[in-house]
């Protein structure tokens, strides 16, 4: 059971049932808002699936996955890619579902996406000329807007072409990440961290994240906070980067 302070409770049962109780009818909406980010990840862990705090976009050569600390700019990056014609799968969370064959051997697992929306700060939405298409204002952060997207329900992890860490620094750079750094990035993306050790066996978690991190090229993209997002995308997808990656495989 998860307590929502001064408002109510959410009960998650065996990963298959979520029930809510609000102290007053007026609190019902607020308690319900905790279902996507709190209740669903816990339910996923209860049935052996792994919730991950990341963003994902379908581009020409596969799926680009973006991860990093909260506030690293994942939503802005994927919204900019969407304005360039790419399909946003999620800007916030995915659930990794390992797959097993009848002989208990692993096949490609899948990433599942459930909340078809992007959340942007108003200044980022204005920069991307998307403010007028917002479907609603965020309940807790009034300077944040929600936008509806047409997504896909799930993808095979074999479709992942790159796993990209986002960070803020003084200049725009992009570099290769080692396999161990990519594993560390995805381990840190498992959510909610306070529940992991209670609901998922650590050895199996590491094994599954090792498998997930074996797909796609690992990249680290840094940029200043005032950098033009479309210039950053040009850096990410530049021809010179493609040549560099081809010349220096991991």
Give the pLDDT of residue 134: 65
- Residue with the two structure tokens 């725009």: 172
Average confidence (pLDDT) over 173-177: 92
Return the closest-CA partner of residue 223 out of 174, 169, 164, 177: 169
What sign does the CA torsion over 109, 115, 118, 121 have?
negative
Give the pLDDT of residue 100: 55
Average confidence (pLDDT) over 146-151: 83
Give the pLDDT of residue 107: 60
Give the pLDDT of residue 131: 62
Q: Model confidence over 189-239: pLDDT tens digits?
A: 998 877 788 888 899 999 999 999 999 999 999 999 988 888 888 888 763
Give the pLDDT of residue 249: 43
Write the CB contacts of 27 (distance below 8 Å, at least 6 apart in sequence). Answer: 4, 7, 8
Q: Is residue 13 left, alpha or beta, with left meaning phi > 0 and alpha meaning psi from -120 to 50? A: beta
Q: Model confidence over 58-106: pLDDT tens digits?
A: 998 899 999 999 889 999 999 999 888 899 999 989 999 986 544 444 4
Q: How far apart are CA 33 and CA 25, in angstroms?
A: 14
Q: How far apart are CA 104 and CA 97, in angstroms?
A: 14
CATH number for region 50-113+152-247? 3.90.228.20
């Amino acid at each position: 059971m998860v307590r929502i302070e001064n408002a109510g409770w959410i009960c998650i049962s065996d990963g298959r049932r979520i029930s809510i109780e609000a102290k007053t009818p007026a609190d019902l909406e607020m308690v319900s808002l905790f279902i996507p980010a709190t209740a669903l990840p816990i339910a996923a862990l209860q049935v052996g699936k792994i919730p991950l705090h990341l963003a994902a976009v379908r581009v020409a050569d596969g799926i680009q996955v973006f991860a990093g600390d909260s506030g690293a700019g994942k939503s802005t990056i994927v919204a900019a890619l969407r304005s360039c014609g790419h399909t946003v799968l999620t800007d916030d969370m995915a659930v990794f579902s390992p797959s097993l064959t009848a002989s208990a051997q692993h096949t490609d697992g899948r990433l599942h996406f459930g909340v078809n929306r992007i959340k942007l700060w108003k200044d980022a939405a204005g920069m991307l000329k998307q403010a007028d298409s917002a479907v609603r204002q965020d309940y807790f952060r009034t300077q944040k807007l929600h936008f509806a997207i047409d997504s896909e329900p799930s993808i095979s992890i074999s479709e992942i072409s790159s796993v990209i860490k986002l960070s803020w620094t003084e200049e725009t750079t992009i570099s290769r990440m080692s396999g161990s750094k990519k594993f560390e990035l995805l381990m840190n993306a498992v959510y909610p961290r306070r529940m992991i050790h209670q609901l998922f066996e650590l050895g199996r978690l590491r094994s599954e994240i090792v498998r997930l991190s074996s797909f796609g090229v690992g990249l680290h993209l840094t940029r200043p906070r005032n950098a033009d997002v479309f210039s950053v995308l040009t850096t990410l997808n530049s021809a010179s980067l493609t040549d560099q990656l081809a010349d220096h495989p991991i």
